[in-house]
């Protein structure tokens, strides 16, 4: 069995991080903390849920989609859901059938419920919502490997884990628009990029998030895929995931799934486009390389050097 890495909370209050607090001005964030020696950033409210997540009961039949934000999580979720459920396309919103484990710890709505209208059960207590899901459960999380429930890290339970990642330039740009739309970010693009590169944004540092799953890549219950592969050869990724989930579908069925998962189809599908919630324009660009429309050559150069620094000696290529 692989060695068990115990969570070392090493919690540091980031109240002194002026940019984070200055530019994320929403009432649902009171402050930020850093967790583990990799200094993953999470909202302070997460502290109230940390033990519950650590000790969350997991089942071998669970299926997790794990990712850093804005890397193609929803796209992967819809693919995994359809493959796992005999390609039954459904109108039920994805956050109900494939809920986000730690959405409650992310947004402290207690003092500002008006921001999110009538809170659904899922938002009020996402851990409890996930606990009660019918099995097999389909669960989304942005938590890095190091913060997944203990039973997963120790190998006591072996749910299927599909991790998706994306090149950091597109990820950061997508995250910028997302944070402006739903996380109360009021700063400009350059401030945001400094925070991303400095590993100061929620769920950052991005390199530690990606590298920590690569340390687990030999586990039989872990499958790593990329946004870029899904764009260039969705069929192969579908087949790979089918194999991982022990499912078999005909070429004709796979073709229907490919159509269902296309950007245009998902953009117009209210069960996955978050049109009815805070995520306006969630299906934004949906391409590889959209960062070129937003980044200056200087910033691209800065990112490229950062990529060499953080990933140059690894097998991960962007
Ligand atoms: S979240 O909020 O973290 O769960 O967001 P996430 O789902 O990870 O990422 C959102 C980005 O994925 C794009 N997306 C797609 N691209 C191509 N094809 C399909 N079907 C698709 N579905 C979602 C979405 O447009 C966001 O990327 P950007 O670059 O902002 O367009």
Domains and CATH numbers, the chain: 48-311 (3.40.50.300)
Distance CA 216, CA 12 (A): 27
| Atom 4 of ligand 1, nearest CA residue | 73
CB under 6 Å to ligand 1: residues? 67, 69-75, 170, 174, 177-178, 261, 263, 266, 283-286, 290
Question: How would you label 95-106 residue by residue, b for 16+ Cβ within 10 Å and e otherwise?
Answer: bebbbbbbbbbb
Is 142 labeled as catalytic in the residue annotation?
A: yes
C-beta neighbour count of 25 within 10 angstroms: 12
| Closest of 111, 125, 121 to residue 29, by C-alpha | 111
In sequence order, which residues have a C-beta less than 8 Å from that of residue 177 and are 6 or more positions away? Answer: 281, 284
Distance CA 166, CA 171 (A): 6
Q: What pLDDT shows up at residue 298?
A: 98
44-85 per-position pLDDT tens digit: 889 899 999 999 999 999 999 999 999 999 999 999 999 999
Q: How confident is the model at residue 182 (pLDDT cuts 50, 70, 90)?
A: confident
Distance CA 213, CA 221 (A): 12
Atom of ligand 1 nearest to the CA of 265: 20
Distance 4 CA to ligand 1 centre (A): 33
* Residue 245, both tokens: 């989930």
Q: What pLDDT shows up at residue 12?
A: 61
Per the model's pLDDT, the better-predicted residue between 140 and 184 turns out to be 140
Strand partners, 226: 165
Determine the residue of 70, 173, 275 to mutate for testing ligand 1's pocket, defined as the one with the most ligand atoms within 8 A of the Cβ atom: 70
Determine the residue of 69, 71, 73, 75 to mutate for testing ligand 1's pocket, defined as the one with the most ligand atoms within 8 A of the Cβ atom: 75
| Closest of 129, 74, 73 to residue 105, by C-alpha | 129
User: Is pLDDT of 193 > 90?
Assistant: yes
* Residue 7, both tokens: 């969570």
226-255 per-position pLDDT tens digit: 999 999 999 999 999 999 999 999 999 999
Phi first, then psi: give them for residue 6, nearest 5 degrees: -75, 145
Distance 193 CA to ligand 1 centre (A): 19
255-308 per-position pLDDT tens digit: 999 999 999 999 999 999 988 765 568 899 999 999 999 999 999 999 999 999
Strand partners, 42: 33
DSSP letter at 47 equals G
Distance CA 153, CA 2 (A): 9
The catalytic residue among 122, 142, 178, 260 is 142
Phi first, then psi: give them for residue 139, nearest 5 degrees: -130, 130
Q: What pLDDT shows up at residue 129?
A: 95
Question: How would you label 128-155 residue by residue, b for 16+ Cβ within 10 Å and e otherwise?
Answer: ebbeeeeebbbbbbbbbbbbbbbbbbee
**DSSP-assigned letters across all residues of 56-124:** ----TT-EEEEE-TTSSHHHHHHHHHHHHTTT----S-HHHHS-BTTHHHH--GGG-GGGGSSPPHHHH
Distance CA 221, CA 104 (A): 27
């Amino acid at each position: 069995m692989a060695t068990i890495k115990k969570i070392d909370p090493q919690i540091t209050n980031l109240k002194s991080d002026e940019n984070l607090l200055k530019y994320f001005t929403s009432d649902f964030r009171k402050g930020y903390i850093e967790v583990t020696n990799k200094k993953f950033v999470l909202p302070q409210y997460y502290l109230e849920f940390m033990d519950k997540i650590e000790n969350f009961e997991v089942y071998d039949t669970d299926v997790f989609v794990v990712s850093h934000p804005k890397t193609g999580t929803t796209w992967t979720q819809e693919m995994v859901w359809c493959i796992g459920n005999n390609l039954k396309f459904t109108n039920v919103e994805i956050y109900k059938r494939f809920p986000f484990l730690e959405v409650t710890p992310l947004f402290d709505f207690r003092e500002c419920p008006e921001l999110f209208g009538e809170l659904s059960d899922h938002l009020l207590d996402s851990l409890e919502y996930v606990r009660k899901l019918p099995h097999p459960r389909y669960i989304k999380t942005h938590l890095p490997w190091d913060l997944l429930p203990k039973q997963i890290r120790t190998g006591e339970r072996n749910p299927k884990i599909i991790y998706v990642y994306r090149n950091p330039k597109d990820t950061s740009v997508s995250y910028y628009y997302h944070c402006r739309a739903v996380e109360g970010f009021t700063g400009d693009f350059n401030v945001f990029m400094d925070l991303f590169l400095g590993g100061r944004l929620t769920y950052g540092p991005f390199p530690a998030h990606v590298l920590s799953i690569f340390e687990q890549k030999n586990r039989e219950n872990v499958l790593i895929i990329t946004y870029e592969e899904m764009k260039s050869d969705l069929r192969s990724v579908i087949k790979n995931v089918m194999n991982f989930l022990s499912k078999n579908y005909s070429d004709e069925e796979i073709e229907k799934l490919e159509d269902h998962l296309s950007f245009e189809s998902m953009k117009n599908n209210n069960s996955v486009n978050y049109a009815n919630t805070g995520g306006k324009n969630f299906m934004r660009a949906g391409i590889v390389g959209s960062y070129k429309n937003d980044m200056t050559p200087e910033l691209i150069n800065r990112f490229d050097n950062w990529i060499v620094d953080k990933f140059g000696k690894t097998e991960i290529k962007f």
